[in-house]
Structure formats: structure tokens, C-alpha cells
Structure 1
Amino acid sequence: MDLEVAHTRCKDRLVWAIEQLQGKVEPTQLEIITELIIQTMTGPWRYFHTPDHIFEVGGSVNAVEVLAALFHDLVYVQVDHGVSINIGSYIAPFVKEVKGIEVKEAKGKGAKGQLVIRESSDMPASAMFDIVATIFGFSPNQVLSPMAGQNEFLSALIAARSLEPVLSPGVIAQIVACIEATIPFRPLSPSGLTPSEMLYQRLIAANQQFNFGWNEPQIIEIVKRCVRLSNRDVENFAYPNSADFLDNTWNLLPETNHELIHANSYTVAGYRRSLQNMEGFMNFLSPEQVFQRFMGEPDDETYQELILKTRKNLEVAKLYLGCKLVSIAIIEALSRRLVGGRDRDIPLSTMMGELPIAGLKTPSLEQFLPDIPSVHPPETPLEREVLELLRKGRNQDSSYDLKNSPIATFIVNAMGFPSVRHLIQRAKEFFAGKLSTDEFLRECDYKAIRTVIDAVEQLFESRANALRGLSGETTLTFEPYPAAISKLGQEVVSEV
């Protein structure tokens, strides 16, 4: 989205929502809030959590939801590699970074380099902080965890302080509650309560503590609103088309691995780590942790449909990512043999060719791989869909990756899904150093490996030919990589 368009759209939504909630904002104040949101959401590392995302999550019907969505992703420490100066000024009086010996004074373990809520005596009196902390169930001297509400808590604190001159405390509390509900993928509490039920209890306590004047039906409606916003935040998990779900997954990858932003220079291991982290996350997640429910919101039929679609998308993603892990494991194993060990890494483009550029023809590994039929055709609808996604690709192009998966397609066709499923686990052992390069390659079908090596050799030979062409009639002798690959092919075939 164009920066100017995003700025105008954000300002318009702020004005509309504040008016709907009987608030009033001065033009200078409006400009400060708008700039705060848009500048943060268009940071250099934002690929998925962008202005488009916050506009979609907020919808256009409920003013509280609109405002909560605008603020809910302001702080994303893992993506932005910290907190910018612009938003840091809102939270610095209440949060500090703890390192070294100070960690021993904080509640919780593993706090080195983590953010910690300050002691009560070390922060200014603030009704907004008290409201946010009560609704989140956080307390002074608490270690904040990126996986347990840190980003949402800090985003809510910025929202509350930004809107304090504009809206009543009771309305701000409802916005804060919506942001709390966007903490994703939480299990049941030790007492068996859902996140929404826990939020309901904290809202009852906040209502009593701050005299908001809510009655029971109003608190229930507030939580239902929170559930609606939270479910819109993760609605991509229940997309009807798995390719659309994978598109969103691929937008998330460069947010958590900034190396991928540099197309054609990120390394084999760097790309593999991105896939490995995402595959591990998909295997960890259960559909019931994705979407929330509270007192009939959403209704049973809608909720069950969300769970069913999410389960299907997760199954597709797990097998799809597993196939890609096997293919990148083979490429990484060959690259290690090429450069002499696991401690040296090379760009993925060295092994597979540069990403295509419109109007420029560059050699790629794909063009040297044969298009073969499946030796073991897919046996289930899941396998058929995954193979089609690998072959045809996701729906959207990516600036840092091909949308189709030619190497994975070849591997699946050459070995079959049963063998690939076995290799997924063996690939993980290889990545962890429990299997050597040779041991992993011996687990693979030797004909498939020989074909991939031949393709890499032809790719390197095409580069050598391009270099020869630069010399005119002069013959160049410059073939270190092709010779190395030929030797590697002989060694691998003899070993397997």
C-alpha cells in the first residue's frame, strides 16, 4: 500500500472511530498518532504486519475494534529488532531492559536481555498503566516474554497513553481488552480456563477497581467483541484455499529472518533455518489454539468450520514444508561437500541459480532437472494437493523466493511421499549434527541424488561457458566448481 494512501486511510479511521466513541482529538494530536502508527507499521522489516493487516483486522463496523486493530501490532520486538525511538518514549517510563546481574532481581528465568516491567517505585503514577496491567494480568518487576504477550502489552500501553487525552478511561479499557485478546496461540490456563474466560475475569476485576460502571451483559459483550477481533487477526489460518494460507506464511518468513530480504545473497543454511522454524511451529500448533470462543461467539457451526479449515491448512503446510526441508537438506549436504564442511556456508543462489528477473534470462537449477512422472503417485487427497502446490506454486510471487518448488517436486516424484516423510526426520537429525553429510545422503535414493548433482554440474558449466564467452576467441580455463561437482558426484555415487 502506498505510504500516502495508508496515512490518509489511518487518519480517516481514527477520526471516524473517535467521533463514534464521543471523543475529540485536536489536529496536531491526530497527526502525531497517525504518524506513529504508519511509520511503525511500514518499517523495513514489515512484510505481513503492515497497514493492510491492521485495516483488515479492524473492519469498519465497530469503533473500538477499529482503534484496537490500528494499535495492536505497533510493538513487534522480534520483527523490528527492538523498539524504535518513536514508540519507545511511550513505554520507557514503565519498562526497562534487564541484562547481567539485574536479572536475578526479576521474577522469571532466562531474562538476560529481556524487557521487564519496572518496580512501582521506579515508574510515574499512571492510570493508563494501571488499567493496561490489570487487564493483562501483569505486575511490576515481571519479565516480559515475546511469546506470552510482551508485544501486545506494550502496544496496548502505547494505545492507552496515546488515546488518554481523547477518550474516556472506560472506552480505552475496552480497546486494551481487544489488544490483549490478540495474544496468539495460548493454551488453557492451569485451571482449565480459555484465554477469553481469563480475560472476562480480569475485566470484572478492572470494572470494580476503576469504576467503569459496566454491568454483566456489557462485560460479556466486551469479551465477545474481543473474540471477533482476535479471530479476524488470524483468519488466514482458515482460508478455504491452502495456497492463500501458504502465501501468508511466506510473508511471515522474512519478518523473522531478515537475511531473506536480500534476494540472491541469503545462504543455504539461512533459508533452511527459516523453513525449519516455520515447519516446527506448524507442527507445534493445534487448531483449537488458533481461534477463540466465548459464550456463543462465534456460534458452534462457524467455530467448527474454522477449526476444520485450520486443521486442513496445517496438515497441508506441515507436509509442504517437510518436502521443502528435505530438498533444502539435499542442497545443503551437497554444498557442505563442495565447500569442505558444515562450518562454511554459501549463498543459495550459488547452488540453485539466481531468482528470475523480468527480461533477463539467467540459468537455474530447475532447467537442468528432468520432468519425470511420479515413481510412487500420491495416494491421498493431501498428498495430491501438496504435490500440486509444489509443482504449480503458491498463488503469489515472492521477492525472495520462487513460488513453485522445482527441487522438492523432483524429489517427491523421484522418491514418493513415504520416503520423503522418512527423510523429513532424517533431515532434522542432519541439521542438528546427529547425522553426517554422507550419512544423510546415503538415506536418499542414489539415482535422485545423482540427478541433482548432474543438474548442479550443468548449472556451473553454464556459468563457466558464460565466462568463456567474455574472452572472445581466447579460451579460458576456469572450472573450479564444475570439477568439484563432478568429483562430488563420483564420491556420492560410490558411497551410496
Structure 2
Amino acid sequence: MTDRSEGVHSKTFETLQLGSEEFRNLPGPEVLSAWARLVDESMSSEARSYHTTSHVLDVLAALPKHNNDPILLLAALFHDVVYLTVDRHLSTDQQALVGTIIRDPSGEKENLEFVEHREDGLLLLVRDIFEVGNTNDSVGLNEYLSAVVAVQMLGEYVTSAEIFQIGACIEASIPVRPNTCNGYVVRSPMQVLHDRLLLVNRKWGLGFSSHELTKTTQRAVKFALADLSSFH
């Protein structure tokens, strides 16, 4: 490992350690280090010039209070782990994590295949947050698969409510979405997300109050703005 990649790995590892200080059930240093390496390697594709680990650090820099909010911290770390638009394929490690819901048989984005009826638990919760259909051109596919990676890594150690909040932040980072119109009613993507979170909360019995759901949406908006602000 080069000095530069070792430095990047150290920063990613430090980010996970900060999260583990708040989420007491996160695993020890050896597992966190393995997670950090997977994130770093996923975001070090030669095709990437923007959605790299440096972008994660830029997002965190735009969230000055992230050290006190592990939801934001972990969302930032995982939100661009999968970026098929640029990478054009899933790595072996990525395929191992998302292979229960999607296959990349030929190593090309255009040939992705959704796997039916093999999801359970937190994966279905995340799918509801993203409202993903069985099509490989779904808006937000990159972010959805990144959230799946987060679930596969974190799911054993965090609660459904925490995955719900992390997933909401990652969903909010889906770029360039138009407002939706229904007659004279115009709704922004964040308003649509809020409505969907209401439904998911009810369906899964997560127990969030109306005020807590509003705060969850506000945090997601804050995350999306930090993601956008790091474009330069």
C-alpha cells in the first residue's frame, strides 16, 4: 500500500472509529479496518475523478457537527461506495455484498439483473425507503446499492431505526431530480422523501413521532446540501 493510500485508509478508519464511539455495538478495530479498506478500494476506481474518498472527507468537512451525529458520519462514508455510472461494473467485494439482490453476470452495468424474493429484514426496509423497482435504470440505483452495502456492513450492529435514518440521508443525496406535479400541487424530492418516510415508519412500526420524522428529513436535507457543496 502506498503512503497516499495508507493515509486515505487511516482517515476512513478514523471516521468509522468516530461512529463506533456513538454506536457502542459496532465491532472492534480489526473489523473496522477491513470495512475501511473496502470503502477505500471501492472509491479508488481508476475511472473515478470525483466520487472518491476525498469527496467523503469534503462532505464531512461541510458538516461541522458530524462528530456528534454518527448518522451523518456513516451516511457520508457509505453514500457513494457503489457508483455504476462511472465504474460500469461491480467489484468482487461489492458483488459479494449486494449479490443477494442484484447480479452483475457480465461485469457491465447494462446487464445488471435484480434477484427476486431474496431480500429480508433491513434490506427490504432500505428498498422501501428508496422505492426501488425491478429495473436497472431506476433513478438512484447507485445510492440504493451504496445503502445496501451499508446495511450489509452495519446491519448486525445497529438498529432498524438507525438504518432508517442512514438510508434517508443516502436517498436524499440522489442528484438532479425534478419536482413532482399533481394538478396544482408541486412537491420537491425532499417532500416526497418525507412522505415516503411516513409510510415506511408506519409499515415497519419504527415508532418515530411526526416531529422525529421531520427531524429525520431535515437531517437528510442537511446531508444532501453538504454533498452538493463539495462539488468544486
Q: Paired residue for 1:143, among 123, 135, 149?
A: 135
Q: Paired residue for 1:14, among 9, 13, 16?
A: 16
Tell me how far apart the structure 1 counterparts of residues 188 and 24 of structure 2 sit (CA, whole Å).
33
Confirm whether residue 214 of structure 1 aligns to residue 208 of structure 2: yes
SS of equivalent residue, structure 1 residue 49: coil
SS of equivalent residue, structure 2 residue 187: coil
Tell me how far apart the structure 2 counterparts of residues 114 and 190 of structure 1 sit (CA, whole Å).
32
Q: Of the two structures, which has the highest relative contact order with CA contacts closer than 8 Å and spacing of 6 or more? A: 2
Confirm whether residue 189 of structure 1 aligns to residue 191 of structure 2: no
Report deviation, 1:236. Answer: 4.8
How has the CA–CA distance of structure 1 residues 22 and 202 changed in structure 2, closer, same or farther, with 3 Å as cutoff?
A: farther
Tell me how far apart the structure 2 counterparts of residues 27 and 233 of structure 1 sit (CA, whole Å).
27
Report deviation, 1:136. Answer: 0.5
TM superposition score normalised by structure 2: 0.87
Amino acid at match of 1:91: V
Query: Counterpart of 2:36?
Result: 34
Confirm whether residue 128 of structure 1 aligns to residue 119 of structure 2: no
Report deviation, 1:235. Answer: 1.2
Query: Counterpart of 1:169?
Result: 160
How has the CA–CA distance of structure 1 residues 114 and 224 changed in structure 2, closer, same or farther, with 3 Å as cutoff?
A: farther
Residue identity over aligned pairs, in percent, reads: 28
Whether the aligned pair in 1 keeps the contact of 2:95 and 2:103 (CA below 8 Å) is no
Larger radius of gyration: 1
1:108-136 per-residue CA deviation (whole Å, 9 max, x = no partner) reads xxxx934343222xx2x421211111101
Whether the aligned pair in 1 keeps the contact of 2:26 and 2:154 (CA below 8 Å) is no
Whether the aligned pair in 2 keeps the contact of 1:75 and 1:155 (CA below 8 Å) is yes
Of 89-98 and 50-59, the range deviating more from structure 2:
89-98
Query: Counterpart of 1:325?
Result: none
Q: How many residues align?
A: 220
Unaligned runs of 5+ in 1: 100-111, 238-247, 249-496
How has the CA–CA distance of structure 1 residues 32 and 233 changed in structure 2, closer, same or farther, with 3 Å as cutoff?
A: same
Report deviation, 1:57. Answer: 1.1
Tell me how far apart the structure 2 counterparts of residues 97 and 38 of structure 1 sit (CA, whole Å).
21
Query: Counterpart of 1:46?
Result: 48
Query: Counterpart of 2:171?
Result: 180
Whether the aligned pair in 2 keeps the contact of 1:114 and 1:145 (CA below 8 Å) is no
Alignment of 1:112-123 (within 5 A): 113-120=110-117, 123=118
Q: Paired residue for 1:73, among 76, 80, 83?
A: 80
SS of equivalent residue, structure 2 residue 47: coil
Query: Counterpart of 2:89?
Result: 82
Alignment of 1:360-379 (within 5 A): none
Report deviation, 1:10. Answer: 0.9
Alignment of 1:246-285 (within 5 A): 248=232
Tell me how far apart the structure 2 counterparts of residues 8 and 97 of structure 1 sit (CA, whole Å).
30
Amino acid at match of 2:136: L
Whether the aligned pair in 2 keeps the contact of 1:18 and 1:167 (CA below 8 Å) is no
Tell me how far apart the structure 2 counterparts of residues 205 and 70 of structure 1 sit (CA, whole Å).
26
Report deviation, 1:30. Answer: 1.2
Whether the aligned pair in 2 keeps the contact of 1:71 and 1:159 (CA below 8 Å) is yes
Whether the aligned pair in 2 keeps the contact of 1:98 and 1:113 (CA below 8 Å) is no
